[in-house]
Each structure stands twice: as C-alpha cells, then as structure tokens.
A and B are shown apart, each in its own frame.
Chain A
Amino acid sequence: MNGFEGLMHGFALAITPTNLLFGFLGTLLGTMVGVLPGLGPAATISLLLPMTYALGSPITSIIMMAGIYYGGMYGGSTTSILLNIPGESASVVTCIDGYQMAKKGRAGAALGIAAIGSFVAGTVGVIGLTCIAPPLSRFALQFGPAEYASLTTLGLMLAAYLTGESIIKGLAMVILGLFLATIGLDPVTGNLRYTFGTMILQDGLDFLTLGMGIFGIGEILSNLEQKMSSQLVTTKITNIWPTVKDFAMAKWAIVRGSLVGFFVGLLPGGGAVISSMLSYAVEKKVAKNPEEFGQGAIEGVAGPESANNAAASASFIPMMTLGIPGNPAIAMIFAALMIQGVMPGPLLIKEHPDLFWGVVASMYIGNVMLLILNLPLVGMWVQLLKVPYSILAPIIVMICSIGVYSMKYNSGDVIMMFIFGVVGYILRKFQFDLGPLLLAFVLGRLLESSLSQALLISGGDFSIFFTRPISATILSCTALMILMPFFTRLVRKFRKSGSGVSA
C-alpha cells in the first residue's frame, strides 16, 4: 500500500460513525482539559487507559486519545489568554503576550489567531507524519538490539537535556526512572529484583499507577498549596476574527512556529512544551520590534500556539515508527497501544496498516473539528473556567482511583498510586522535572533487553555499539550532546579571560 492509497483507506476507516464519534469526543475532551488548569492531556489519557479495554477496537481508542492530545494544545491557549494561567504546560509562553492582548480588549483576536495557527500547524504536522513515518519505519527495520540500545540512550539523554532547567537533575530523574523499571521480574534471567519480599512488587510497577500518581495526584497536591483564584478578564469577547492586519503580522509567525514545532516534536524528549518556548524565542529574535513582546505582540501568541500543535502531531512519528515515545502524553498513547496488544515500532505500519492510516486520517479530520469547536464556541469554554478547582480536585482523585483499581481489582494499587503522588509532589518541591522520569520508566525495559541482547550477540564485547554504522552514528550524536555544555562553558570562560586581558 503506498502513501496515498493508505491515506484514502485511512479516511474510509476514520469516517465510520463510531470513529467519528470517538474522534469528536477526544477532541472535545482534549479542549476541555486543555482549558482547565491543573489537568493536562497526559493525565487525562492515563485516566482513560482502562477504558480502552472496554472500547475493544484499538483504532477507535487511539483515535480518541490522539484527539485528547492535540485537542489539549488548542484548549490551553484559552486559559493562558484570559486568565494568565497556563491551561496546559505547553501554553506557558502564550500567557506573556496573550494576556496583555486580552487586557487591551483584544482577547478575541488572540483567541482567534491561536485557533487558526493551531489548525494550520496541526495540519502541517499531520502532513509531515503522513510523508515521513512510512519511509522512516522502513529504515528502522534495519535496527537491531545495538541500534535500539543506542537510540534509547539518545532519547533519554535528550529528555534530560531538553526538559527542565538543570541537566544534572534531569539525568538523575532519568536514572531513577530506569531503576523503577527494574523492579519485579528480571526479563532475562527471571529473578526477582527490588521487591523487598512483597507480593505487590513482583509483577513490577505499573505504568498507570506510576503515571497517575506522579502526574495526576502529585499535581493536585502541588495545586493545593495555593487557593486557586481566578481573575477572568471580564471584557466581552465580541470579535473572534482577527483583522486583516493581524493576519498579515501573524502569518509568518505561524509558518515559523509550525516548522519549529514539527522538528522539535520529532526529537525524543522534545514535544509541545519545549517547542512553544523555542518558537517564542525565535519570534522575539526575528521581530522588527522586539520591544513589543510582553506588551501584547500577536506573533508571541501565533508562533508558540502553532508550534505546540505541530509538535503534538510530529511526536507521533518516533513513537509509531521507532517505538520511542518522546513525551509523557505520547508515552500514555504508547501504553494504550501495548494494552491493545499492538507493539509500537518499525513493524507497526506494516502489520497494522488500518490502525496507522486510520489514526493519521482521523487527525486531519480532528483538526477541522477543533477549529470549529474553538472559533465559534470559545464562549462556552470560558464558562467552563467558572468550575472551581476545589470541586474538580476530589473528582480527579476519584477517577484516578477507579482507573488504577480496575486494572487488577486490587486496592493496594490505589494506595501505591497515592504514595507515588506524594513522591511526585516532593520531587516537584525540589524542582525536579518528572517527564524524564516517566519516559525512562517506559523505555527502561527496552533499554535493558536490547543492551543484554546486543551483548549476547557480541559475546560480551562492547565494541558492537561502535562498529555498527547506525549505532555508531547515534552514539556520536549522544556524545556530542553530552560534551556540548562543557564545551560552551569552556569557550565562555576562555572568552571572558580573553576579554579580561584585552581590557
């Protein structure tokens, strides 16, 4: 099946009533959790993971979850613009200029350009996914355990380097995540590791328990520190259509944002959050009047909001072709695929063409749905912001509990989730970024098994990682990246001392 045929086949699958309905539900739910601060797409998808058993068809459930992910990117901007609180972490930078625009009575234009930018970028991202994923997965068929071990290492390093402020803290979280993945039965020898003689740890930790604990529950505990008070910009949103002048100013920002977002989304460890920040920095750099940034520059809304959507679509590429999820939300979708017995990786497109093309086609449709949901219905989403967080919090606690309990019907898992919630809360307090931890946990088994398989093939000889060309290339990239900060620091020191001498 070539790309075009595949896509047409996918559309035929995506427009069946069930898939359309769940695609719509996903985008609707995604917009909702995007709008609500304190509940992100990663946590929402994890809440719905147990439901994928009930839905039966993997296509339908992945269509819905994908909708939640990119839908969340649309919704996040609304809260940022109107409340100056990011509805979703990928919309943090949208607050800066979006809120200023709203204060000047231009909330409508900001919301409108965010939705239009998201639509354009989301569609660009899906087109990229359509074109790149099939050849990439054919290429990845050549990968053996050595390549996987190298690639996973690169992914984890990128996760540590790109997220958060401190690289060393990111690394610590990566290793902690890898550790958590070793708990339970050793996949190679069948021995028990780190179970401390308890029954509950024998099967290993579950992705859901950990994910919901550190993201869902941990986030609630952090939010409880302050009474969430909302200062809604009360000016009536009259005109959601940006003016022609707005368009002229924002159109290149949207294009640049789409490109930046797409490429950052491709990187393991990248994703929506980083792409939006990078896009803001780019816009500020190329702007004719950079001093307008922070005062309500429309490019500062259009760029990042486009970038996070392009990144959301692009992050499907490494997950579906290499089996390497790049960020927590996509890791949840990765987990959903595994629950359905579909192994994400180079064989996915070949073995499950229906699933791949169905989901891709649904993303084209979903972006149109979101444009409709967001442009005319933005008033409805604003109403949603009036639901106080105090009521939302216990509801989230309860839904998380149902989700974890219904996996194995064991209330011990619920308690474990709460314990991870406390751990997540404390780690947040110490300003650790939890994304790398979860990613490392997901990739931990793959890393260990590919490492030991590679060493088995080579008879314990580590040179296998450096002599195979693809693996060697990946590892050199990793090494380059690790050495980069030391190098730049050295150069900076050198320059400083140099300028000191000349002065």
Chain B
Amino acid sequence: MKKWDRLAALVLFLIGSAAAWEAIKIGYGSFRMPGPGFYPFWLAVILGVVALIYFLNNLGKDPQVVALWEKGIWIRPLMAIIVMLGYGLLLDKLGFILDTFLLFLIWLLVIEREKLLTVALVSIIGTTAVYLLFTVLLQVQLPKGILF
C-alpha cells in the first residue's frame, strides 16, 4: 500500500497547492480584515502539511507489491460508471420512465449477466412499480421525455 499511499499524498498535496493559489486569487485579505480566500487559504496550507506528513510516513519499500485493481476487477465498476453517466445524461431527453427501463435492462444484461427471463421480468415490473409509486402515488415531478 505504501506506493499507493505516496501517490495519494502527492495528489492531495497538488490539490492543496492549487486551492491555495486560487484562494490568494479570490482575495486573502489580512488577519484583521479576512477576505473570502482567507479561510480556504489556511485550509489549503493545513492540507499541504498533512499531505507531506502522510507522504513521509509512507517512505520505503512495500513488503509485497499490492495491486490496487487486481486483474479484471475494475471491469464491472467501470461498466457501471459508464451506464450511470449515460443514465444521467439521457434523463431529460428520454424521460425518467424510459431511461430507467433502459438502466435496468442494460445493468442486468451487461453488468450482471442475468438470465433473459429475469432481466425482462425485473425491468418491466421494476419500471412499472416505480411509475406507480413515484409518478402516480407520490406525484414526484420527474422528467417527461419522448414516451411518457
């Protein structure tokens, strides 16, 4: 883990530096008259110090090499991320009901590799239940698209 901890510390340090830079740009002010960037600036400084200590704590070699993502383990999460982002982007265009139907369909078919019958049943029953519960019963305003 040491290698990954060092990487994380480095990223945190960079975030801190960028944030401090931005804080000065917004306006640091002074101790007596703090500007809008005053508080974030000191937060950024503390983050930088914490990141530095974190880095120094993790110097040296790992006793054994640890992979963050073992072979193939990232595939399903990555697919899910793509499906979810697609779901979010298409929400307004397709409308909530159709988009959700597609979410169930693709999730179960591609990510979970469920049997076709399960996929069909869950997608249809799930979407109908959602429609009845949220649109009809609770009357939540959800995006209407090309179908519903």
Contact surface of A with B, Cβ cutoff 8 Å: 51, 54, 168-169, 171-172, 175-176, 178-179, 182, 186, 188-189, 191, 193-194, 217, 220-222, 224-226, 390-391, 393-395, 397-398, 401-402, 405-406, 409, 411, 414-415, 417-418, 421-422, 425, 429-432, 448, 451-452, 455, 459-460
Q: Given A402-B140, A429-B69, A460-B32, is A191 in contact with B26 using a C-beta cutoff of 8 Å?
A: yes
With a cutoff of 8 Å between Cβ atoms, the chain B residues found around residue A51 in the complex are 138
- Give 25 CB contacts A-B under 8 Å: A54-B138, A172-B54, A175-B46, A175-B47, A179-B19, A188-B34, A191-B26, A193-B36, A217-B84, A224-B77, A394-B107, A394-B126, A398-B103, A401-B87, A409-B141, A417-B88, A425-B77, A429-B68, A430-B4, A430-B5, A430-B8, A431-B1, A432-B8, A451-B39, A460-B31
| Contact (Cβ within 8 A) B47 A421 | no
A414 to B103, CA, bound (A): 14
Chain B residues closer than 8 Å to A451, beta-carbon distance: 39
Q: Is the CB of A168 within 8 A of B50?
A: yes
In the bound complex, do residue B36 and residue A221 qualify as a contact, i.e. CB atoms below 8 Å apart?
no
Our count of residue pairs bridging A and B at CB distance below 8 angstroms stands at 138
In angstroms, Cα B119 to Cα A394, docked, is: 12
Known: A224-B80, A402-B142. 11 other contacts (CB 8 A): A175-B50, A176-B12, A182-B39, A189-B36, A222-B77, A225-B76, A391-B108, A393-B80, A402-B140, A411-B91, A411-B143
Q: Please state if A415 and B114 are interface contacts (CB–CB under 8 Å).
A: no
Residues from chain A with a CB closer than 8 A to the CB of B140 are 402, 406
A-B residue pairs, 9 tightest by C-beta: A191-B36, A390-B112, A415-B88, A460-B32, A394-B107, A186-B36, A411-B91, A224-B76, A414-B88
> Which listed residue (B5, B77, B84, B141) contacts A418, Cβ 8 A?
B84
* Smallest CB separation, A464 vs chain B (Å): 13
Residues of A with C-beta under 8 A to B54: 168-169, 172
Kindly report which residue of chain A lies nearest to residue B44, judged by CB atoms: A179
User: A-facing mask of B2-38, CB < 8 A → 1, else 0?
Assistant: 0011001000100100010011001100011111110
CA distance A346 to B143 in the complex (A): 41
Known contacts A168-B53, A172-B51, A448-B39, A415 near B85 by CB under 8 Å: yes
Contact A394 B39 (CB under 8 A): no
B146 at interface (Cβ–Cβ under 8 A)? no
Tell me if B103 and A394 are in contact (CB < 8 A).
Answer: yes
| In contact, B37 and A193 (Cβ under 8 angstroms) | yes
Give B34's nearest chain A residue, CB to CB: A452
Among A176, A397, A432, A459, contact of B87 (Cβ-Cβ < 8 Å): A397
> A395 contacts B111, CB within 8 Å?
no
Q: Which residues of B contact A429 (CB under 8 A)?
A: 68-69
Known interface pairs A178-B43, A224-B76. Does A172 touch B12 (Cβ–Cβ under 8 Å)? yes
CB distance from B46 to the nearest CB of A (A): 6
Query: How long is the Cα–Cα vector from A191 to B22 in the complex, in angstroms?
Result: 13
Cβ contact of A171, chosen from B1, B26, B50, B143, cutoff 8 A = B50
Contact of B134 among A168, A176, A226, A402 (CB under 8 A): A402
B122 lies within 8 A of A411 (CB) = no
8 Å CB contacts to A: which residues of B122-139?
Answer: 122, 126, 130, 134, 138
Interface check B81, CB cutoff 8 A: yes
B65 interface residue (CB < 8 Å to A): no
- Docked CA distance A226–B103 (Å): 20
Nearest CB to that of B29 among chain A residues?
A: A189
With A and B bound together, what is the CA distance between A182 and B77 in angstroms? 30
Chain B residues with CB under 8 Å of A452's CB are 34, 39
A409, B134: Cα distance in complex, Å: 14
Judging by beta carbons under 8 Å apart, are A394 and B26 in contact? no
Is the CB–CB distance between B36 and A390 below 8 Å? Answer: no
Whole-angstrom distance from the CB of A190 to the nearest CB of chain B? 8
Chain B minimum-CB-distance residue to A194 = B22
| B92 is an interface residue with CB less than 8 A from chain A | yes
**Interface-centre pick from A178, A186, A224, A451 (highest chain B CB count, 10 A):** A224
A178 CB contacts on chain B under 8 angstroms? 43
The answer to whether the Cβ of B73 comes within 8 Å of any Cβ in the partner chain is yes
Q: Determine whether the beta carbon of B77 is less than 8 Å from that of A221.
A: yes
Instruction: From known contacts A182-B40, A411-B88, A429-B68, infer whether A390 and B108 are also in contact, taking CB-CB under 8 Å.
Output: yes
* B57: chain A residues within 8 A (beta carbon): 168
Contacts of A448 in B (CB 8 A): 39
Residue numbers in A under 8 Å from B35 (CB-CB):
189, 191
- Which residue of chain B has its CB nearest to the CB of A50? B140
B53, chain A: closest CB distance, angstroms:
6
Give the residues in chain A near B112, CB-CB below 8 Å.
390, 393
